[in-house]
A and B are shown apart, each in its own frame.
Chain A
């Protein structure tokens, strides 16, 4: 959740790199290049070493350990995988997670695209509305989750009070096996939509005015311009948002842990929480490792597929 500053700063021109030496300085830089190469590798390695160590410790080692633990016990080989894949708890968790993503990701991206298109327009005080939509980013997730948890209380909660104004019956929300998961979806969207919007607005800003003016002269309506000019031109940003949103929703954890603990009736047992439960409630390291590996494989496959689809259409 941290890429905002990168969009604030325009991408630098990478072509002006160390390679562009002025010809006049050719012989000087030649001498330099030789000196740089002598011992260059060691200096390079020394500067990079702390990051590489951190990379190994916080990403690669736990990844390899998970694979090792998942293959280690229970008859060796893929025995534990067979067990996990046939367990109804994991199947249910996987089904919930996939359905959640299938419904929620398109909704969140559509919402952030509409908001981005609208708030990139010249409307009065656009900056104020944009800043307000961004506000949820500043709050830690757990704060947002707690407010919504209180608002969604079945009795005396603010949302039910709001429904009552329109004469609607109070809803069970987080206490209903049918509504709870979509309440979590609502919370995740409230947290995320403004964030994704920022990336799309950055893309929209780069669309040249002349293109839209030309289209307007040809009589294209505003909506038409957005659909046929702006949206295709921000495909790169849309692809990034789609992938990042998918990853975020696959790994959703805080609202489940704080509000529902996977319930009622396992209806919100998203896969991250299922892994947490295996590791920390049942102390079953092998099952947790198997589930971690499966989660990573599925996530990689889906992200790869999304990239492939978006690349394919360009040609």
Chain B
């Protein structure tokens, strides 16, 4: 985009719009962080007459975090981490297998099958979550980790992204491997996957965000508090009468910090894998 086209006054207006939008987007998140470092009573007393103290902590108190470590909420956050980690690992294998078949195996009707798979996954999961929860309970899988993981595994967008990447891998490479007598599985596991770090990271992030954000599904299939996921546990905590607000905000911060760190961390990995791929290629 050319900056020449916008006169100076317009650019000042742009800057102001950008800053205001950025502040509006960040303020609530900043406020949770500040509130999580305050004693509960202070959270509300600093909100009523608006002042600089609303957004700036006068003292830092980690009491809420100490509190949360001895509450059942910490269990829910650990559950979220476990369920999401399993989802990402298993989901990457499943989706990359499908993407490999749809990109590298020459079979008649491949395009049609690809279209059917991607279109079917476009049925939004939340829309069928309620009937599926009934079926899950009938199958005796309520309150199971299997039930929690299952909807997050298959992902049309992840398949699409990985297939796009796999299509770019030169077919000569596959031929060479085949002439060496490699089986299809070996080509997938030892040729395609090692070359696809960046695409796998992208697909992994998609799976991660879906599962970490999941709310309606864990709400429906889990009734045993020890199996609760973090997001649902936080929702329940908020709805309780006489809730400890400090703990609510500390839990909210923990549930937000995990995705922030992972997204930031994997962005670096993303850059690394791309540059490594460039050297090898």
Contacts and interface: CB of A to CB of B under 8 A. Distances in A.
Contact of B120 (A60, A119, A151, A215): A60
B209 A121 contact: no
A95 to B, nearest CB: 19
A253 B21 CA distance: 25
Contact of B157 (A3, A22, A165): A3
A43 B184 contact: yes
Contacts of B201: 5
A315 interface: no
Interface size class on chain B is: 35 or more
Nearest to B174: A18
Nearest to A280: B220
B85 interface: no
Interface string A88-130: 0000000000000000000000000011001111111010110
A172 interface: no
A80 to B, nearest CB: 14
The bracket for how many chain A residues form the interface is 35 or more
A236 interface: no
B248 A146 contact: yes
Contacts of B170: 16
Given A2-B210, A60-B120, A66-B128, A51 B159 contact: yes
B117 A9 contact: no
Give the secondary structure class of B's interface: helix
Interface stretch (A134-142, A177-185, A262-270): A134-142
B97 interface: yes
Interface string A28-59: 11001101110011011001101110110111
Contacts of B203: 5
Nearest to B245: A150
Contact of A9 (B184, B198, B232, B260): B198
Contact of B18 (A14, A118, A165, A247): A118
A4 to B, nearest CB: 7
A135 B105 contact: no
Contacts of B207: 2
A194 B252 CA distance: 20
B255 A146 contact: no
24 contacts: A4-B205, A4-B209, A32-B178, A36-B106, A43-B105, A44-B110, A47-B105, A47-B188, A54-B150, A54-B153, A115-B17, A115-B21, A118-B18, A121-B3, A123-B11, A123-B14, A136-B29, A139-B255, A142-B232, A143-B32, A253-B126, A280-B220, A292-B127, A292-B130
Interface of B: 1-7, 10-11, 14-15, 17-19, 21-26, 28-29, 31-32, 44, 47-50, 54, 94-95, 97-98, 100-107, 110, 113, 117, 120-121, 123-135, 150-151, 153-155, 157, 159-161, 164-165, 167-168, 170-172, 174-175, 178-179, 184, 188, 198-199, 201-203, 205-207, 209-210, 212-213, 215-216, 219-220, 230-232, 234-235, 238-239, 248, 252, 255-256, 259-260, 263, 270
Given A17-B167, A28-B175, 17 more contacts: A6-B202, A9-B198, A18-B104, A28-B179, A48-B117, A118-B21, A133-B21, A140-B213, A146-B234, A157-B47, A190-B25, A204-B1, A207-B1, A209-B2, A222-B10, A272-B216, A292-B127
Interface of A: 1-6, 8-9, 11-14, 16-18, 20-22, 25, 28-29, 32-33, 35-37, 40-41, 43-44, 47-48, 50-52, 54-55, 57-63, 65-66, 69, 114-115, 118-124, 126, 128-129, 132-144, 146-151, 156-158, 161-162, 164-165, 190, 194, 204-205, 207, 209, 212-213, 215-216, 222, 225, 247, 251, 253-254, 257-258, 272, 275-276, 279-280, 285, 288-289, 292, 295-296, 299
